[in-house]
């Protein structure tokens, strides 16, 4: 969630970011010779040793796959930078059959740079509302849910003449090696950066990776730097765009999930469903969701900004910030959000984090507040994933502080978990102030079962926002933040979320981490302890300047111990840990536990240690 003051750039409709320049504004629907530049005839290519080549084309030619296992788009609609159609009004022109695998359409030579939407004519289905870009003459191929430019015809039947049953085989559900493993928040990392670092993330012991929102960002500009991160939280669409995106395309996402699953890593996508990009109650010109835009009297709540954060109606029905509030009780909005969740599941995604969840009403609210939003989106997504891929999704909602007068289980009855920001924030505050009793406090501020919680040492909001807007950890040093994470992420049940601080000077479309802290020895050791201990019970406590979380049970014995004031050797008593030899997962040293007492060496580099009983 973004609470920082925003500046809104007023731009005319003619500067839509997803449209490109046309070389002619006149409407000319005549086709060039459809055989121009093609090097082979339109015959079945099953079993051929080579595929047709289109390198000599002197115009734009678009091909669309006929795969009957997917939606067959048989119409094409196109428009230029002036937003005027160039081949007829919606739904455009019917494609013609090219061969047994492809439909096609040849554009007039005068059109070389424009945008297109493929659709099913009057059947109501289409590709992304925001369009796909055509940039220069050549052959463009739509298959596997994306448009690609290539001189050579893609081989839809590799290995012989039999048609494949499907062009896209969804990945199998990720094997779960720990139901309660910790989550790595790859904040502002693009999907390829995440993919390139999967091995390091896996070695660091995380079991899931959370991306930033993948919806089309507000006022896309590739030159925005990380300080403009909030644009991702004012989306213009409910899809993963294939152009004008900081973080990656739908194909990038499919590639990431497939690679992550091979390492037993799950992918969680941050979803913004409470609001869209705009100014006050007005949607931005670039919002690409036609159904929402064309029915804005129903889909947008014309309301003031929320000022009474303790009033449940205001919190769920008034604007969260300076941007339009979606009417989440409206069926058009619900259908749009569900369609997006469903597409993410099809791309291999394993779960969702719902931004500003407490600002979306539940079925349990009073009659003047409640709606079936969560039932028609999250619950339906759970069912779809299970029935289609035998996958159990993991979903959690962002709840900051409280739910404005209603119980937290209004949300945990629907979602797997919610955030408990106050518990993590309090522990970080205690670490920074040298208060070991506060750091070793076992209390959860939400007072609900820890297996329904996500905890952190800091979050993107506490670090990226300025202090007056909740940026309480912006001036905290990484060492203290890591100590706080070590304590919350070692606990039973609750999942730790490790926020990776970005490099402020890097571009949003190529954001890199500020440091390698996410995989340092302390964090990796904490994650290992979490995984090894599984469902073991925990004991949280403190002794002198030390705070600790001990784990004990059938899966073994271990503890995370931090010193709020320093380092060096320290002796403490920890109940429920078995006698025996314990290994320091950071240094490799061994220590002896006898009658509940142990002397350990607190690392000067991290101000902490993690120990496990040697079996």
Domain ranges of the chain: 8-155, 183-533, 537-613
Q: What is the mean pLDDT of the chain?
A: 86
Residue 135's nearest CA partner among 109, 111, 154, 106 is 111
pLDDT of residue 487: 99
> φ and ψ at 43, to 5 degrees?
-120, 165
Query: Residue 387 pLDDT > 50, yes or no?
Result: yes
Query: Residue 52 pLDDT > 60, yes or no?
Result: yes
pLDDT of residue 127: 75
pLDDT of residue 496: 98
pLDDT tens digits along 396-449: 999 999 999 999 999 999 999 999 999 999 999 999 999 999 999 999 999 999
Query: Residue 170 pLDDT > 70, yes or no?
Result: no
pLDDT classification of 129: cutoffs 50, 70, 90: low
pLDDT tens digits along 183-239: 999 999 999 999 999 999 999 999 999 999 999 988 888 778 888 899 999 999 999
> How many residues belong to the chain?
615
Token pair recorded at residue 469: 């807007």
The more confident residue out of 50 and 343 is 343
Whole-number percent of the chain with pLDDT over 70? 85
Which residues, 6+ apart, have CB-to-CB distance to 251 below 8 Å?
Answer: 144, 145, 146, 242
Query: Residue 10 pLDDT > 50, yes or no?
Result: no
Measure the CA–CA gap between 183 and 549, rounded to whole angstroms: 19
pLDDT tens digits along 444-472: 999 999 999 999 999 999 999 988 888 99
Measure the CA–CA gap between 502 and 511, rounded to whole angstroms: 7
pLDDT of residue 71: 64
Query: Residue 42 pLDDT > 60, yes or no?
Result: no
Q: Angle, to 10 degrees, between the axis of helix 421-433 and the axis of helix 478-489?
A: 130
Q: How far is CA 336 from the centre of its chain?
A: 17
pLDDT of residue 470: 86
The more confident residue out of 82 and 48 is 82
pLDDT classification of 83: cutoffs 50, 70, 90: confident
Which class is 537-613 in CATH? mainly beta
Degrees (nearest 5) of the Cα angle 433, 436, 440?
A: 125
Query: Residue 169 pLDDT > 50, yes or no?
Result: no
Least confident stretch, 39-48, 64-73, 99-108, 280-289: 39-48
Which class is 8-155 in CATH? mainly beta
- Does residue 466 contact residue 474 with C-beta atoms inside 8 Å? yes
Query: Residue 17 pLDDT > 80, yes or no?
Result: no
Residue in this structure with the two tokens 């599941």, named with its chain if needed: 345
CATH fourth-level superfamily of 183-533: Glycosidases (3.20.20.80)
pLDDT classification of 8: cutoffs 50, 70, 90: very low
Query: Residue 11 pLDDT > 70, yes or no?
Result: no
* Mean pLDDT along residues 259-271: 96
Burial class (CB in 10 A: 0-12, 13-18, 19+), 51: middle
Query: Residue 492 pLDDT > 80, yes or no?
Result: yes
pLDDT tens digits along 493-550: 999 999 999 887 777 777 667 779 999 999 999 999 999 999 999 999 999 999 999 9
Query: Residue 259 pLDDT > 60, yes or no?
Result: yes
pLDDT of residue 146: 74
pLDDT tens digits along 87-124: 988 889 999 998 888 999 999 999 998 889 898 886 56
Report CA-CA distances (Å) from 134 to 26, 90, 98, 139, 245. Answer: 18, 18, 20, 10, 16
ω before 243 within 30° of 0 (cis)? no
Query: Mapped to the 3 state alphabet, what secondary structure does 247-305 carry?
Result: CCCHHHHHHHHHHHHHCCCEEEEEECCCECCEECCEECCCCCCHHHHHCHHHHEECCCE
Query: Residue 35 pLDDT > 70, yes or no?
Result: no
Same fold, 8-155 and 537-613: yes
Measure the CA–CA gap between 422 and 402, rounded to whole angstroms: 9
């Amino acid at each position: 969630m973004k609470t920082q003051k925003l500046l809104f750039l007023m731009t005319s409709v003619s500067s839509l970011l997803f449209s490109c320049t046309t070389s002619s504004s006149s409407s000319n629907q005549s086709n060039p010779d459809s055989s121009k530049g093609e090097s082979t005839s339109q015959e079945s290519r099953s079993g051929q040793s080579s595929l047709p080549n289109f390198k000599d084309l002197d115009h734009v030619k678009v091909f669309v796959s006929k795969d009957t296992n997917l939606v067959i788009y048989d119409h094409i609609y196109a428009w230029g930078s002036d937003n005027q159609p160039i081949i007829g009004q919606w739904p455009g022109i019917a494609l013609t059959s090219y061969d047994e695998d492809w439909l096609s359409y040849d554009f007039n030579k005068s059109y070389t740079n424009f945008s297109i939407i493929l659709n099913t004519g009057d059947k109501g289905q289409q590709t992304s509302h925001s369009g796909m870009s055509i940039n220069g003459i050549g052959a463009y191929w739509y298959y596997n849910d994306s448009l690609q430019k290539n001189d050579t015809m893609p081989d839809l039947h590799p290995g012989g003449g039999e048609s494949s049953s499907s062009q896209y085989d969804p990945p199998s559900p990720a094997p779960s090696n720990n139901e309660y493993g910790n989550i790595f928040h790859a904040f502002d990392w693009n999907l390829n950066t995440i993919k390139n670092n999967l091995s390091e993330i896996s070695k660091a012991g995380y079991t899931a990776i959370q991306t930033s929102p993948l919806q089309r960002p507000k006022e896309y500009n590739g030159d925005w730097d990380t300080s403009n991160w909030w644009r991702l939280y004012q989306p213009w669409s409910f899809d993963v765009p294939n152009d004008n995106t900081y973080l990656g395309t739908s194909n990038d996402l499919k590639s990431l999930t497939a690679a992550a699953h091979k390492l037993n890593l799950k992918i969680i996508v941050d979803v913004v469903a409470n609001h869209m990009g705009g100014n006050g109650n007005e949607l931005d010109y670039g919002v690409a969701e036609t159904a929402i835009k064309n029915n804005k009297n129903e889909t947008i709540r014309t309301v003031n900004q929320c000022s009474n954060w303790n009033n449940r109606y205001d919190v769920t029905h008034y604007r969260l910030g300076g941007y339009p509030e979606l009417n989440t009780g409206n069926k058009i909005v619900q259908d749009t959000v569900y369609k997006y969740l469903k597409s993410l599941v099809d791309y291999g995604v394993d779960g969702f984090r719902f931004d500003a969840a407490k600002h979306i009403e539940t079925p349990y609210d009073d009659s003047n507040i409640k709606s079936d939003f969560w039932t028609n989106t999250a619950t339906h997504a759970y069912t779809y994933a299970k029935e289609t891929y035998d996958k159990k999704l993991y979903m959690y909602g962002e709840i900051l502080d409280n739910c404005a007068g209603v119980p937290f289980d209004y949300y945990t009855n629907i979602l797997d978990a919610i955030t408990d920001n106050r518990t993590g924030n309090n522990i970080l505050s205690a670490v920074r102030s040298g208060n070991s009793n506060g750091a070793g406090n076992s209390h959860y501020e939400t007072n609900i079962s820890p297996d329904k919680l996500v905890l952190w040492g800091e979050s993107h909001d506490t670090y990226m926002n300025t202090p007056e807007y909740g940026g309480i950890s912006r001036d905290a040093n990484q060492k203290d933040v890591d100590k706080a994470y070590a304590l919350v992420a070692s606990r039973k049940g609750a999942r730790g979320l490790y926020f990776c601080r970005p490099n402020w000077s890097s571009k949003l479309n190529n954001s890199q981490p500020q440091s390698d802290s996410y995989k340092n020895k302390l964090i990796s050791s904490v994650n290992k302890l979490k995984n090894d201990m599984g469902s073991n019970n925990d004991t949280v406590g403190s002794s002198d300047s030390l705070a600790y979380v001990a784990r004990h049970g059938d899966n073994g014995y271990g503890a995370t111990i931090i010193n709020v004031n320093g380092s060096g050797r320290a002796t403490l008593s920890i109940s429920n840990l078995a006698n025996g030899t314990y290994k320091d997962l950071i240094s490799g040293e061994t220590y002896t536990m006898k009658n509940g007492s142990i002397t350990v060496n607190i690392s000067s580099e991290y101000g902490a240690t993690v120990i496990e009983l040697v079996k």
